Structure 1
Amino acid sequence: MRTRQEISLNYIFGVLSFRNRSTPKVLFTGDNIFKMVSALIASSVIIILGLMGYELVTGSRISIETFGLGFIVGTVWDPAIKRVFGALPLILGTLTTSAIALFIGFPISLGVALTLSEYTPKKLSYFFSFLVELLAVVPSVIYGLWGIYVLIPFLRDNVYLLLQAAFGFMPLFSGPIYGGGVLTGGIILAIMIIPIISAVLRDLFSSVPSSIKEAVISLGATKWETVKVVMSYARSGILGATMLGLGRAIGETMAITMVIGNKFKVLPSSLFDAWYTMSAIIANEMLEATYDSYISALINVGLLLLVINLTVVVLARLIVWRSLRMVRGIMRE
């Protein structure tokens, strides 16, 4: 004989199974709607990027058909008389200022990240990390204004005079000092990318498993030796963070436009000389472009800038993702 409780449970399970068989599947449930909306939002990024690329390719069609690869390797930019356009000096100017920014900014960023993650108490680390991240959201035009009114006079009247006195025999530090120029542009970019690289490196160092640090310390290692192990463990992520900073430096517009001098030439005479970047020439000359091939050439510069920047950022993301995945895999073990 079955008990009354067993009969009740069988009855409930029977009703539920009958309901599952008889109730049709509802397509527009809350979960399905959320999935569709999320997929739409995620795909919108790809759609927008595709539309941007399409518009840039379409807008630069005249320049591509007229100059071809000569636009990339050309060294003449003459919209007034010859109507010939070459972007090589612009590419070199962009890459040079970005390289200077990395050369200056990376060691500082590494020191900031190590200090916050390894040497600073947690409460102070959170506070100073917030300040570092706050610097990353300051508008670039503010950096540009600060560069014009504070940085350029200071560098021109103090630092550049000392550099020229010590290394004036070298072509890089010879020639007249204007204040604004290649080195000033690289310095302002370095100041702008330091918060980005520092924040990424700090998170990367903090994600290193504590078991690795404890194992190194148990072997009698000093604090600095432990830090070296941490940096070795996160070396691929360090490279990725550096490339993220490089992507920011390459794509920067307003700040570099305000301090670099904006002078088109194949190569500057020194680091104190004025030059041009890809983003700066677009910002300065787009409103002055009065005919189709001129406008198309500027759009073509934007297309090249997008390709370079996307390549750098995608490589950086892949490197950082690979490093973090390796860290998480070791933590699971």
Structure 2
Amino acid sequence: MSSIKKRLRKEKIAKLLMQFSGILITGSLFFIIGTILYKGLPHLTLDMITQTPKGGFYIGKDGGILNAILGSLYLAGLSTLLAVLIGIPICIYLNMYVKKGSTLAKTAKLIFDVLFGIPSIVYGAIAFSIMIWLGVRASLLGGVITITLLTIPIVVRTLDELLQTIPAELNQITKSLGATRWESAKVMLSYIKPGLFTAILLAFGRAIGDVAGVLLTTGFSDNIPVYLDEPTATLPLAIFFQLSSPIPEVQGRAYASALILTFIILSIVICTQYLASKQRKNRG
């Protein structure tokens, strides 16, 4: 009887700890969003979204951060596209063409696990060295190279975990129908399409929110980039530079910029969840 009481006591303690953790995480999230709204919303204007910085913008004068908004979208969009185009074939090869449990498969997955955990500043330093070797200056292209290197492990490891959830019977059925490995791979990708959207979201979210990697490689400009070899402003760098200012007005604009960045990521999450739910309904 005493052992049952001990087990029930442990279960209650574990339940309380889980509830406390949930409340703590949720509270932290609301605190962060609340702080951004409280400090940023009064400084968020239409001009800030629709205009580029004017002379003296970073000392409190007129202008906006349209250059940083578009620069972030260009950078995150291009790098995510490249990461997906490179990461999907890698993942297909490791799961469809390489024997499961082989040394190559284990080594490759270990390498991508290590790459997944490397800080973005390291990728920035590596990309910066590559840019110097190629003679490429700090620009949108440099940022795309950096963030692509950063997001490829995210795409590969996320898709690899998703492919592990596919029932073995599905692969056996496609093979029994005479499908080639590539045809089987297309069936697998169709099966995990909602998860593929999640992988793209993770890569895009990491790309648009990174500051350490792009600090060395993209430069900064008050203009909207037209070509890949032009310096590019991003929202994280704009927030960083504005928060570094001692002027309260500029600091308020930094929180407004953070609010815009949060809204972009939230919009992507909602769109991705909608597409994933629609795909699940179609598959059902």
Q: State the TM-score, normalizing by the size of structure 2.
A: 0.87
Equivalent of 1:72 in 49, 55, 69: 49
Question: Aligned-pair distance for 1:300?
Answer: 0.9
Distance 1:106 1:249 in 2: 13
User: Structure 1 pair 255/63, CA: closer, same or farther in 2 (3 Å)?
Assistant: same
CA contact (8 A) 2:193 2:276 kept: no
Question: Aligned-pair distance for 1:217?
Answer: 0.9
User: Structure 1 pair 76/321, CA: closer, same or farther in 2 (3 Å)?
Assistant: same
Q: Percent identity?
A: 23
Equivalent residue runs for 1:139-158 within 5 Å: 139-148=119-128, 150-156=129-135
**Is 1:295 paired with 2:273?**
no
Equivalent of 1:138 in 72, 93, 118: 118
Q: Name the structure 2 match of 1:13.
A: none
Q: Which amino acid in 1 is paired with 2:30? A: G
Q: Which amino acid in 1 is paired with 2:258? A: G
CA contact (8 A) 1:196 1:245 kept: yes
Q: Name the structure 2 match of 1:205.
A: 163
Equivalent of 1:244 in 202, 222, 228: 202
Unaligned runs of 5+ in 1: 1-15, 17-24, 157-177
CA contact (8 A) 2:242 2:253 kept: no
CA contact (8 A) 1:263 1:275 kept: yes
Equivalent of 2:147 in 182, 189, 194: 189
**Is 1:90 paired with 2:46?**
no
Instruction: Give the structure with higher Rg (CA).
Output: 1
Q: Which amino acid in 2 is paired with 1:107? A: L
Q: Name the structure 2 match of 1:44.
A: 24
Question: Aligned-pair distance for 1:312?
Answer: 2.9
Counterpart of 1:84 in 2: which secondary structure? coil
Q: Which amino acid in 2 is paired with 1:30? A: K
Unaligned runs of 5+ in 2: none
Q: Name the structure 2 match of 1:160.
A: none
CA RMSD of aligned residues (A): 2.8
Question: Aligned-pair distance for 1:223?
Answer: 1.6
User: Structure 1 pair 134/315, CA: closer, same or farther in 2 (3 Å)?
Assistant: farther
**Is 1:218 paired with 2:176?**
yes
User: Structure 1 pair 320/35, CA: closer, same or farther in 2 (3 Å)?
Assistant: farther
Deviations 1:154-183 (A, max 9, x none): 332xxxxxxxxxxxxxxxxxxxxx521011
Equivalent residue runs for 1:1-333 within 5 Å: 29-64=9-44, 68-77=45-54, 78-79=56-57, 83-123=61-101, 124=103, 125-148=105-128, 150-156=129-135, 179-265=137-223, 267-287=224-244, 289-313=245-269, 316=272
Alignment length, in residue pairs?
A: 277
Distance 2:63 2:163 in 1: 46
Distance 1:217 1:80 in 2: 62
Runs of 4+ in 1 over 6 A off after TM superposition: 317-323
Question: Aligned-pair distance for 1:139?
Answer: 0.9
User: Structure 1 pair 82/239, CA: closer, same or farther in 2 (3 Å)?
Assistant: closer
Counterpart of 2:194 in 1: which secondary structure? helix
